[in-house]
Amino acid sequence: MQFIKESFIRATPERVFAFHEQSATLRLLMPPWESSSIVAQAQISEPGSRTIIEAKILGPFTARWIAEHTAYDPPRMFEDVQVAGPFRRWRHRHIIEPRPDGAILRDEIDYEPPLAFLGRLVAPYLIEPRLQRLFEFRHQVTREWCEGKSMKDEEN
C-alpha cells in the first residue's frame, strides 16, 4: 500500500532539508494528540542510526517502533525503514524537490499493515485517515518553521 503527502513550501530545498536535520525536529513533528514518546533519536545524516518510539496504536495498545535511516542525499532525500514495529513493512522516503519560488516536500510511505488481509481491508478506514492527519500536521509545522524563522533566529 502507499500513502503520499505533498506540500509546497516557500523556502529553498536546502532550508527544508536543514529543518529535518535538527535534533529537535522529531519532537516538533509529534502531534499533541498522539500519545507517543521518543525513546531514542537517530541523526538522519547517519545511515544505520535508529529512532525508537513508543506509540499508542489503538486504545490501550502500544507498540515499540524502531526505524533505521537507510538513505541520505541532501538536499533531495532521506529515507527510513521500519526494522521492528506495528507494520509488516514500512518504508518512508522524505523527498524535497526544487521549484522556482520554493520547494515541494513529498512524503512517500510504502507499507503493509498488520493482520494481512484484515489489515488491508481496514487500512482505508483506520490507517490512512490517521496518516493523513499526522502528515497534515507535520507539513504545517515544517512550512511554518521554514517560512517563518530566519536562519539567524535559529543560531540564538
Give the global pTM: 0.89
So where are the chain's domains? 2-32+69-151
End-to-end, the C-alpha distance of the chain in Å comes to: 43
The number of beta carbons lying within 10 Å of the beta carbon of residue 33 is 8
> Which single residue is written with the C-alpha cell 526544487?
98
**Cβ(37)–Cβ(53) below 8 Å:** yes
Of the candidates 11, 45, 50, the one whose C-alpha atom is nearest the C-alpha of residue 139 is 11
Whole-Å CA distances, 89 to 45, 47, 57, 111: 23, 19, 16, 5
Q: Per residue of the chain (156 residues), what is the pLDDT tens digit?
A: 999 999 999 999 999 999 999 999 999 999 999 888 999 999 999 999 999 999 877 777 888 999 999 999 999 999 999 999 989 999 999 999 999 999 999 999 999 998 788 778 888 888 899 999 999 999 999 999 999 864 445 444
Residue range 2-32+69-151, CATH number? 3.30.530.20
**Cβ(56)–Cβ(33) below 8 Å:** no
H helices of the chain, in order, are 13-21, 25-28, 116-148, 151-155
